[in-house]
A and B are shown apart, each in its own frame.
Chain A
Amino acid sequence: MMRLFPQFATLTERLPEASSFAPRVDGIFTGLLIASAVVIVILTALTLTFLIRYRREAKVNRSAVRIATWKLETAWTAGTTLVFLVFFFWGASVYLDIKRVPAAGDADEINVVGRQWMWDIRHPDGRREFNTMHVLVNRPVRLLLSAEDVIHSFFVPAFRLKQDLVPGKTVDAWFKPTRTGVYTLFCAQYCGTEHSAMLGRIIVQSPADYAAWLAGDWKAAAAAARNTDHDLRSSGRRLFQQFGCSVCHDPDAFVHAPSLVGIYGQRVRLSDGTFVRADDQYLHDSILHASRQVVAGYVPMMPSYDGVIPEPDVLELISYLKSITPAPPAAPPAASP
């Protein structure tokens, strides 16, 4: 049933509790839901009873009830206030833990810069990722959030974590991922044209996978690629993933970026109305200085990779781009077991 109608899967199936405080937030929310359901059931039952029993046609006793109004008023005012206070303290106690960022030594520190419309993620050892953040499971992460232009908001639903990035200041936040997997990072604060495309992925890895990823950071990976891959094309494909190009340029990516399938040799229309042939020089310049020649119909949002991608790697990327051509029609997906 669940497999046929995935939309009816339970909330926790669709939204995993992947951080240390996610189950606690869900606990409060469940408490609120139960309390609300009780209130709604009681009020609905009373209202329906009164509506039916005291409809005009009914022959019932309608003489005024002799009770002191103030007693009822005091009772339900006090009751409501008490229940509210319980939820206030419950919510505040978890909030304080969400806001209590671990000290620098107890957590991995990651800098996150929000920029229209991408996430620029820098690890302390100089590794840099775009729209992707690799972290180690069960190890607290301390985020140092800043924004270059407007306000953005770092929102990972699976972690129940949200924190605005405010230009002009550095805000910290933290989380401890408790489950391996890939979780969506949204920008929750409206930030302009491509706000809904400002997406990223948090990749929570087991120690072994994380170590492998660490070992394969871009310099080493590039070197390794040159040694193990048979040709520039395959190492270029690997770099295409590593530098985050695929996050935007894959045909099925969330971000609105030109597809690069079959790009080589095509005539490309630019936003200033001119045309250019997608030759080696064009691809080279577009990787390093994307904003100089913007494809018509697209927003200049790709960052400059000048000084980020070493020249040999650019050449490998170009070889890869030359090699990708439109795929043959996909085979029908295998029936799920």
Chain B
Amino acid sequence: MTSYLAAGSSVRSWLCTLDHKRIAVLYLFTVTFFFLIGATAAVLMRWELLTPAGNLVTSDTYNRLFTLHGVIMVWFFLIPVVPTVLGNFILPLAIGARDVAFPRLNLASWYIFVSGGLLALYAIVFGGVDTGWTFYTPYSSTYSNSHVMVMAAGIFVAGFASIATGINFIVTVHKLRAPGLTWFRLPLFVWSIYATSIIMVLATPVLAITLVLMMLERGFGVGIFDPHLGGDPLLFQHLFWFYSHPAVYIMILPGMGVVSELVTCFARKRIFGYKVMAVSILSIAGLGFLVWGHHMFVSSQSVYAGLVFSLLSFMVSVPSAIKVFNWIATLHRGSITFATPLLYALGFIALFTIGGLTGVCLATLAVDVHLHDTYFVVAHFHYIMVGGMVMAYLGGMHYWWPKISGRLYPERLARAAAVIIFLGFNLTFFPQFILGYLGMPRRFHTYPQEFHTLNVISTCGAAVLGVGYLLPLVYLTWSFFRGPRAGPNPWNATGLEWQTDSPAPEHNFRETPVVTGPPYDYPPL
């Protein structure tokens, strides 16, 4: 059968494709492009922070850099990356389907996403935005002198791509599962994409509404958030975090799904506590809607709201902790190969654990009063978002690379890159926990002398991390053209995607597979 890559090579065959695999590749290029833009901003920021004084860029430029970094990384990289690249490519294959439920909607989502991205790029190129990715009012709606409207419009548009993708995946999982593939036979990656899709469909409209209200106030003086116009600034924060906290789970749940695949494959064992894992994914998705107020402990929201949100934040950490225990238990009595994807998975578990434990510190009310809006928070969410999600994404990318490209990557170089990324990451972000406890606030262009040493360490780490991220970009590109052929199932993994050719054929399977057993059914050792 023709591979999806050989099915046509014209530009038109790519830009008008309805094949979920080709759309995944379109997304791969798009989000990688946005990642490089966001990373460039991060490099400039770390460079500026090498010295306490602001001597590389002006304050206005620095404020635009961290806004650009946040907006691009959150909405144009972290949120779409695993669902639209790995999800689009693997989900139909993993459930034995020929495509997603609505292939045209799938292609339309990419165009919507790109339109949103172009608006964001326009805002960046023609002067930037200085509100921070959180767009807090009344700064964003009244005081900021920057391209807030265009940027918000870009995010608003990109949100519809999220919603459409979410709907597509939900219907695909409900309607297109292969015969015999019951709900509790689904791979955990599918569960995680399913749960993520539900959040995308339910939460993103709230973000859209919030941004429209902010734009109405900024553009037409309609008083909603600015007290001078009769509004309430805290209302914005409630609405914004009602979306943006679940969005954190949009960013981490798919990573948890990927890691479950990697750990089982390279330990050659069924996942420990499959049902608990599936249920904990769903309960994280559900509880994630009820904890937004923990971003507002010092905002002057009521003390009682603070107590309730703190308690619920502790509760949402329980299923996350259980997942870590289950992954480690899966290693017990396995047969472990230290392949690159497993290294990334282990890196994920370590960094996610540190990110989770520091999240517990931030859920603790009195401690959050001190740590809120300091570098401790910056370090915490980078441990989850970058240490967690990006590690999982890279692990998944290596794991499914043979299915995507039909090729193998250079194993030693890939292992070295995984280790460099892990070390560089810790060197960059661990010092920021200490900086935060010492009191360095986030979004600071200049800082007092006492914070200098730790900032220098952090910047050195960022350099190492940068090299680590460039390596896979180089050797995966090389592997795409020159790497050795992989064959259908180079890892001897279970999962329907491994039962078909590599790269995957145009219509996925010769005949629809029939599922007769549980997932991760590795033979007894």
Contacts and interface: CB of A to CB of B under 8 A. Distances in A.
A258 interface: no
A276 interface: no
Interface in B425-463: 434, 437-439, 441-448, 450, 452-454
A168 B225 CA distance: 10
A122 B465 CA distance: 48
Contacts of A50: 328, 331-332, 334, 336
Contacts of A28: 364, 366-367
B139 interface: yes
Interface in A1-54: 7, 11, 14-15, 21, 24-25, 28-29, 32, 36, 39-40, 43-44, 46-47, 50-51, 54
B453 A84 contact: no
Interface in B124-140: 130-132, 136, 138-139
A168 B227 contact: yes
A63 B524 CA distance: 7
B441 A188 contact: yes
Interface in A77-132: 77, 80-81, 84-85, 87-88, 90-96, 98-99, 116
Contacts of A39: 353, 357
A69 B314 contact: no
A98 to B, nearest CB: 6
Given A47-B346, A62-B335, A98-B366, A72 B138 contact: no
B445 A195 contact: yes
A85 B366 contact: no
Interface stretch (B33-41, B79-87, B297-305, B384-392): B297-305
B300 A54 contact: no
B25 to A, nearest CB: 33
Given A11-B437, A15-B438, A15-B439, A162 B298 contact: yes
A178 interface: no
Interface in B112-150: 130-132, 136, 138-139, 142-144
Given A39-B357, A166-B233, A95 B447 contact: no
B59 interface: yes
A148 B336 CA distance: 61
A171 B303 CA distance: 12
Given A7-B453, A150-B139, A51 B364 contact: no
B28 interface: no
A25 B370 contact: yes
Interface string A140-163: 000000000111010101101111
A127 B338 CA distance: 69
Given A46-B328, A88-B314, A164-B300, A95 B143 contact: no
B35 to A, nearest CB: 24
Contacts of B324: 43
Contacts of A193: 59-60, 63, 130
Interface residues of B, number: 90
A162 B227 CA distance: 22
Contacts of A161: 369-370
Contacts of A81: 315, 318
Given A91-B310, A95-B366, A98-B369, A55 B445 contact: no
B298 A153 contact: yes
B440 to A, nearest CB: 8
B373 A54 contact: no
A196 interface: yes
A158 B310 CA distance: 24
Contacts of A96: 303
Chain B contact surface mostly: helix
A296 interface: no
A193 B444 CA distance: 10
Interface in A253-271: 254, 256
Contacts of A21: 366
Contacts of B437: 11, 15, 29
Contacts of A194: 59
A232 interface: no
A32 B361 contact: yes
B321 interface: yes
A1 B108 CA distance: 63
A64 interface: yes
Contact of A87 (B234, B272, B337, B360): B360
B139 A192 contact: yes
Interface in B237-291: 267, 272-273, 276
Contact of B267 (A43, A54, A190): A54
A91 B367 contact: yes
Nearest to A255: B446
B59 A155 contact: no
Given A7-B453, A54-B332, A80-B318, A186 B233 contact: no
Contact of B335 (A54, A162, A196): A54
Contacts of A160: 366, 369-370
A63 B333 contact: yes
Contacts of A133: none
A62 B136 contact: no
A315 interface: no
B310 A54 contact: no
Contacts of B131: 190
13 contacts: A15-B439, A32-B360, A36-B360, A54-B335, A61-B333, A80-B317, A94-B366, A153-B373, A157-B438, A161-B370, A169-B300, A184-B448, A195-B443
Interface of B: 54, 59-60, 63, 130-132, 136, 138-139, 142-144, 226-228, 231-234, 267, 272-273, 276, 297-300, 303, 306-307, 310-311, 314-315, 317-318, 321-322, 324-326, 328-329, 331-338, 346, 349-350, 353-354, 357-358, 360-361, 363-370, 372-374, 434, 437-439, 441-448, 450, 452-454, 524-525
Q: Which 10 pairs, one residue from A and one from B, show the smallest C-beta to C-beta distance?
A: A168-B227, A157-B439, A91-B364, A95-B365, A94-B366, A7-B453, A62-B525, A196-B444, A50-B331, A188-B373
